[in-house]
Amino acid sequence: MENSASPTVISRRRALTVAGGVVAGAALAAQALPAFAAGSADADAIVVGGGLAGLVATAELAAAGRKVLLLDQEPESNLGGQAFWSFGGLFLIDSDEQRLMGIKDSRELAWQDWLGTAGFDRGVEDPGGQDYWAHKWAEAYVDFAEGEKRSWLYGLGIRWFPIVGWAERGGGLADGHGNSVPRFHVTWGTGPAVVEPFEKQVRAAVASGKVTFKFRHRVDEIVRAGGVVTGVRGAVLEPSTAARGKASSRTVVGDFELRAPVVIVTSGGIGANHDLVRQNWPARLGTPPKFMVTGVPAYVDGRMLGITEAAGGRIVNPDRMWHYTEGLRNYDPIWANHGIRILPGPSSMWFDATGKRFSAPDMPGYDTLHTLESITDSGYDYSWFVTTQKIIAKEFALSGSEQNPDLTNKDILKLLSRIWQTPEPIEKFKKNGVDFVVASSLSELVTGMNRLTGDGLIQLADLQRQIEARDREIDNPYTKDVQVMGIRNALAYTGDSLSRTAAIHKILDPSAGPLIAVRLNILTRKTLGGLQTDLSGRVLDASGAPVPGLYAAGEVAGFGGGGVHGYRSLEGTFLGGCLFSGRQAGRAAAAAI
């Protein structure tokens, strides 16, 4: 029986268990690796994909003295992958930043939240179950987030904004979905600052001859001989000067075959491949939207999932995915159909396409996938925020490093300006974005909403009735309106009251205006299922046995085990999943070679 009063002891014991599993797995893998003749291999390891997980795995291999080939179909401008574009949020437990904000967190509370959110139900106790290794990865990751994650990253120079964000606040029950406390730590410098230390390590290894970049090398096959992975083959694409995030040419100018006793697949998910998204769309989330905006560059195409499966790897939980419900069409797109997510505070009113207000837990920032289901159930592929200038000034943030120049560029003065003015990126979207309607009266707002969609679904009298009903609930410090309760709950947390929640007010209060309606589109983003891996990152086959020489990490592996998040995410866990699984796979592979 675990001693719940001694989380440090628990954490150390579990950490030792994980470490022991990695060492044992490495020993077994070493026995199964092909005996390459001296000089016959091109490297000790091949890493397929230059995103965050690939950089971390490569850095670990190089630090252990291994020779690595890092392949990517994109040009060098895209090194760091999707992580570069991220907001840089990281899930930490009982951190210095949390304690500074008066947040009382613990490993036990976080594990309760993770289990209530993940909902693992596919053979957790069965070694052949889809959730068997996912559950083990989840437990190991929670230990990591409560243990050495912060000190490891801090030692690499990564720092965090001191106000901890409160994402995915949940479905209303203590043991159900959502974060009981704020855990979303925004990296000072956003996504680029998370990528930077690992890119530096890899570039230093390139300079010392330990790592060789192979950009514009598209892997089309993982080569096996006698059931053992021996390398990769594929096509060399023509050189490209495409800027980061821009689509690059797929013109083939040659082919290649490279040999190594270890191949680590870190190629990302399927978010830019809408055909694959719809193909894997689960019935529980309703009918796939006819229109979606895309939250990732075109190279997040899912190709390596099928290629790795053809080499013997098992794909599990392909129907689990994470798409946002607050997507905007980018007025200045970087990639095709580029979508930007609003990270909302708790105060905007949320309506379906017909103007019917959503009920709990479909409130801003509470339960992403439940709200996605409610939107698809409405029969439309969009919804609306109805809000005020006072709310968006304090509560709207936009996902992405490029949408947060103050945080990304570590500009303290610009960051402080959020106190007295609406952030410039928000104002630019309000002015230039096709999804915004701004009006001085509710009747003018409804006219603009119906003009924007062209379907005339919003009725003024009905919308006014619902907003006025909500506004009457503001007069007392207590209420039966769950969203108003949530606003007051948010204001009780210092971090939200300082930076993420507007003073409570009536939507129709003229002094809070103008009124603003925002059409929200479904935004594709993350693959939660993927290649099943053990705690060493070894890819498993249909029988549950490791495919000799084959590893995977990051989103292609469901961020660990083929689905460390289960059905839903607590947020801040995608970058962290790439960091942890990349480190696990890199260290285990280095030990096995």
Statement: residue 419 has pLDDT above 90: no
Alpha-carbon Rg for the chain, nearest whole angstrom, is 24
pLDDT of residue 45: 98
SS3 readout for 134-157: HHHHHHHHHHHHHCCHHHHHHHCC
pLDDT of residue 171: 84
pLDDT of residue 265: 99
Q: Which two tokens stand for residue 44?
A: 């000790």
Look at residues 155, 164, 154, 161 and name the one whose alpha carbon lies nearest to residue 190. Answer: 161
Distance CA 51, CA 577 (A): 12
pLDDT band with cut points at 50, 70 and 90 for residue 505: very high
What's the one-letter identity of residue 591? A
Q: Which two tokens stand for residue 553?
A: 């990490």
Distance CA 311, CA 270 (A): 19
pLDDT of residue 309: 98
Statement: residue 4 has pLDDT above 50: no
Q: Where are the alpha helices (DSSP H) in 312-388?
A: 368-377
Domain ranges of the chain: 45-267+302-320+528-592, 325-523
Look at residues 245, 185, 189, 209 and name the one whose alpha carbon lies nearest to residue 51. Answer: 245
Distance CA 420, CA 495 (A): 17
Statement: residue 42 has pLDDT above 50: yes
Distance CA 78, CA 182 (A): 32
For 293, the 3-state DSSP assignment is: strand
Which residues touch 91 (CB under 8 Å, ≥6 apart)?
Answer: 145, 183, 184, 185, 570, 571, 572, 573, 576
Q: What is the DSSP letter of 370?
A: H
What's the one-letter identity of residue 431? K
pLDDT of residue 455: 93
Strand partners, 520: 383
Least reliable range by pLDDT among 24-28, 31-35, 190-194, 237-241: 24-28
Which one is the CATH code of 325-523: 1.20.1070, 3.90.700, 3.40.50, 2.40.128? 3.90.700
Average pLDDT value for residue range 370-390: 98
**CA triplet 145, 110, 177: central angle to 5 degrees?**
125
Q: What is the DSSP letter of 159?
A: -
Q: Average per-residue pLDDT in the chain?
A: 94
Statement: residue 19 has pLDDT above 80: no
pLDDT, greater one: 569 or 24: 569
pLDDT band with cut points at 50, 70 and 90 for residue 2: very low
Statement: residue 6 has pLDDT above 70: no
pLDDT tens-digit profile of 459-490?
999 999 999 999 999 999 999 999 999 999 99
Look at residues 242, 156, 173, 269 and name the one whose alpha carbon lies nearest to residue 525. Answer: 269
Look at residues 378, 200, 219, 201 and name the one whose alpha carbon lies nearest to residue 307. Answer: 219
For 203, the 3-state DSSP assignment is: helix
Say if CB 316 and CB 544 are below 8 A apart: no
pLDDT of residue 247: 96
pLDDT tens-digit profile of 101-125?
999 999 999 999 999 999 999 999 9
Distance CA 136, CA 125 (A): 10
For 48, the 3-state DSSP assignment is: strand
Pairing relation of β-strands 436-439 and 515-527? antiparallel
Distance CA 521, CA 372 (A): 10
Say if CB 25 and CB 536 are below 8 A apart: yes
Distance CA 339, CA 473 (A): 34
Judge residue 473's burial from the number of C-beta atoms within 10 Å of its C-beta, 0-12 exposed, 13-18 middle, 19 or more buried: middle
Cis peptide before 514 (omega within 30 of 0): yes
Write down the residue that tokens 């949530």 correspond to: 486
pLDDT tens-digit profile of 348-378?
999 999 999 999 999 999 999 999 999 999 9
Pairing relation of β-strands 228-237 and 252-259? antiparallel
Say if CB 462 and CB 478 are below 8 A apart: no
Distance CA 178, CA 523 (A): 20
Statement: residue 17 has pLDDT above 50: no
pLDDT of residue 547: 98
Return the CATH fold of 45-267+302-320+528-592: FAD/NAD(P)-binding domain (3.50.50)
Q: Which two tokens stand for residue 243?
A: 């800027």
